[in-house]
Amino acid sequence: MKIKAFGAIDLLISILIMAVAFMIGMNAFRGVNLPLQPQGNDLKSVQEHINDQISEIEDARQKAAEFEKEMQNEFK
């Protein structure tokens, strides 16, 4: 008679295998340094970034309005 559920020993063995695989995977990332903070002259304040985006949006709106006026003048 076979039991279809995992036993406690099977569960412990699977946890052990996953732990070994995790340790091997973490060794692959040992030499990787991820920059968490921007460095040097690339640092830009949030306000400047927002101002640049707002000016781009305003330019796009102005161009869209001019294009709409040109299209209306063509069809008249």
Collect all residues with Cβ–Cβ distance below 8 Å to 66 and sequence separation of at least 6.
none
pTM equals 0.42
Q: Whole-angstrom Cα distance, residue 51 to residue 57?
A: 10
Q: Is the pLDDT of residue 38 over 70?
A: no
- Write down the pLDDT at residue 67: 92
- Write down the pLDDT at residue 20: 92
